[in-house]
Amino acid sequence: MSVSRRGFIRSLADGRALSGGIFPAAARGHEAWVGEHGRSGGQAATPGDRARDAIRLNSNENPLGPSAAARAAIEKAFAYAGRYPMNAKPAIADFRFLIASRHQLKIDSVSLGAGSGEILECAVQAFTSGSRGLVSASPTFESPARIARQFGAPVNEVPVDAGGKLDLERMIAASAGAGLVFVCNPNNPTATVHPGAAITDLVTRIRKTSPDTVILIDEAYHDYVTDPSYATAVPLAAAHPNVLVSRTMSKLHGMAGLRLGYAVGQPDTIARLSRWTMPYNANALAIAAAMVSVEDEEQIAREKRRNTEALKFTTDFFRSAGFHATDSQANFIWVDIKRPAKNFREACDKQGILVGRDFPPFEKTHCRISVGTMDEMRRAVAVFRSALALTTTSTQSGR
C-alpha cells in the first residue's frame, strides 16, 4: 500500500519523531521558540521568572493583545466551546465568507490556517518536491526553507540586496522549474518592502517563464506598511492561477496566542493548498475575535498609530547613535549594531529586555528588535544604550 507524505507524518504522530521535534510545529513562532529556548521541543526546561517579567521584543508580537471588542467576543464565544468550530457561532465558514467579501471574492478563494505558519508549511508540502524546489530569500522568515529541507526539496536562497530588500531580479531568475517561490513582503527580518508595481512585475515574469510555479506572497505585516508605493498582492492572487497571499491575525490584531491566519487565491490553487491543512484548524474563540477585529476600523487605526510612533522613536534612537536601521515597514526594526547579535542579546537579557534571535548570514552584525509600547521602548532604549556602551545622551531617550 502506498503512503503519502502526509499519511506518513500522521502515522508518526504518537511516536518518537514528533515527540523529539524532528517535524515542525505548525505555529508560526517555531523559530522564535528555538531562538529563545535553544531547543525545538514544545515546552521550556524551566519557566524562568526573569523571562516571564522581561519586556519581550523578540517575537514581533503585538504588546497590547486583542482589542476590547475582540476580548468581549471571545468571552461570548465560550458558549460554543463544546462545539466543533464549524458548528459554533460564528463558525469557520463565517470568517471565510467575511474575508472573501472584503476582497470581492468567493468563499472558495479563502483557506484558513492555525496562524499563517500552517499556511506556509502546507504550501511547501503541497507545491514542492524532490524535483521542484523552493526559491526563498536570505534572510527571510525561515519556516518555508526549513520545511522544504525536511521534506527533501531543493532550496535556493537568494541573498537580500545591500539595502536589505529581497533581490527580486535574482529570485525571478532562480524561479524557472521551481515548485514554490516564497516572497515575504514586508520582509522579516529586514523590515523592508517592495512597491506594488515590483511585485506585479515579479508575478508577471514568473508566470511567463515558469507558469507552473506557485508564488506565495506573505503579507504578515501588511497592516503596518506606511510606504505609499506598497500595494497588497491580493488582486494578483485573485487574477492569476498559482498565486497565493497569506495573512495572519497575530500582528496588528494581537492574536498570536489564538493562532489564526488565512490564504487567498484562485479556488483551484486554494484547493491544492487545503488538502494539506489540518481539519478544524481554526478554533471557535479565535474565529469570534477575528470576526469583530477585522472590521474594527477605529481600533486598526489606533494600533497603526501606536506602532508608527513607537517605531519612529526606536529608529531615531539608533540612527542618532550612529547605527544604521532600515526603513521599517513592520512592527520591528533591523539594525546594524556593529557586533554579534548574541552578545547584544545577552547584555539586554540581563537587564530584562528580550531581543531577536540570530539571522544568518547577518548574525555577526545585525539584530531584529520588535516594537512594544512607547513605555516599553523608553525602558528598552535605556538598556540598549547600556548594552552598546554609549556615552552620549540622545535627545530621543527622554521622550
- Give the 3-state DSSP-derived string for 80-117, with helices as H, strands as E and coil as C: HCCCCCCCCCCCHHHHHHHHHHHCCCCHHHEEEECHHH
Q: What is the DSSP letter of 134?
A: E
| pLDDT value for 40 | 47
Burial of 278-291, coded b for 16+ CB within 10 Å and e otherwise, reads: eeebbbbbbbbbbb
Residue 53's pLDDT is 79
Torsion angle defined by CA atoms of residues 310, 336, 254 and 64, in that order, rounded to the nearest 10 degrees: -40
DSSP 67: -
How many alpha carbons lie under 13 Å from residue 336 in its C-beta half-sphere? 12
C-alpha distances out from residue 164 to 272, 367, 380, Å: 32, 13, 24
Q: Name 7's Cβ contacts closer than 8 Å, sequence gap at least 6.
A: none
Q: Please tell me the predicted confidence (pLDDT) of residue 36.
A: 46
Read off the pLDDT of residues 12-30 as tens digits, 9 standing for 90 and up: 333 333 333 333 333 445 5
Strands (E), 160-220: 180-184, 214-218
User: What is the number of other CB atoms lying within 10 angstroms of the CB of residue 316?
Assistant: 17
- Cα 267 to chain centroid distance, Å, stands at 23
68-293: which CATH architecture?
A: 3-Layer(aba) Sandwich (3.40)
- Provide the residue ranges of all domains of the chain, joining segments of one domain with +: 68-293
d(CA 217, CA 246): 6
Strand partners of residue 324: 336
In the chain, what are the helix, strand and coil shares in percent, each to the nearest 5? 40, 15, 45
How far is residue 116's CA from residue 251's CA, in Å, rounded to a whole number? Answer: 11
pLDDT recorded at residue 29:
52
Taking phi first (over 0 means left), then psi (-120 to 50 degrees means alpha), and beta for anything else, what does residue 336 get? beta
**pLDDT, averaged in runs of 10, over the chain (399 residues):** 43 35 40 47 48 88 97 96 94 97 97 95 97 98 97 98 97 98 98 98 98 98 98 98 97 96 98 94 96 97 98 98 98 98 97 96 98 98 95 46
**Smallest Cα–Cα separation from 186: which of 330, 55, 29?**
330
Give tens-digit pLDDT for 80-119: 999 999 999 999 999 999 999 999 999 999 999 999 999 9
Local structure of 328: helix, strand or coil: coil
